[in-house]
Amino acid sequence: MRKNTSDPLRGQAQTLVAAADAAAGWFRAQTPSALSAARTARLRCRGWRQEAVAAARTRRGPVKADISDLSFSLREAVEHAVAAVCEAARLETPPDADLADAAGDLGLSARALARAASVKGEPRAEALVESKRHASEAGRRCRAVRAEANGSHLIIESIKRSEIAGLLSSAAEAVQQACDALAGSLSE
């Protein structure tokens, strides 16, 4: 019996939205609820990933590969976004508007990706383009944070910011990979 693969993938995409929103909230205000939301998103994503893997077992060929790639990329994006929040909490970094903006762009990208996962045809293509645009902007902001950190004379703070920006940049890259997988044979 063939399982429905779209529900777990949509669930993972919505979990990515929650993780990105939690990251943006943490970098703005550092509330315990944002940290808790990020960790909850990580756990939910693992559950959705297991369902996606189980559903993909009933498929064959390029569709199975695209489902697996999409699910893996979504999990990676959530893991990196949550790792950025956890690392910021562990390192006790102060609120950072630049990192909050990067996480906000990651959230916009995740929303567009979730929208793309729920539609087909031309609306999917438009949502994927929007998602990739926001993910590119998040990556650009992260590179700017890292460049600024490298030029800073505050060595410890610059290392902290650079590490966190690297995690957010990895999340943005994973979102772009998820867009590529969704644009593959799943769009047919």
Is 175 within 8 Å of 109 (Cβ atoms)?
yes
Q: Which residue has the tokens 């890259």?
A: 173
R_g (Cα) of the chain, nearest Å: 17
Other C-beta atoms lying within 10 Å of the C-beta of residue 188: 8
Residues 65, 45: Cα–Cα separation, whole Å = 19
pLDDT of 1: 41
pLDDT at 4 over 70: no
Other C-beta atoms lying within 10 Å of the C-beta of residue 113: 31
Which residue type occupies 13? Answer: A
- Of the pLDDT bands very low, low, confident and very high (cuts 50, 70, 90), residue 72 is confident
Residue 112 has which token pair?
């567009």
Mind listing the pLDDT tens digit for each residue in 104-132? Answer: 999 999 999 999 988 888 999 999 999 99
Structural domains in the chain, CATH included, are 6-187 (1.20.58.220)
Q: What is the pTM of this model?
A: 0.88
- Across 44-56, average pLDDT: 79
- Of the pLDDT bands very low, low, confident and very high (cuts 50, 70, 90), residue 175 is very high
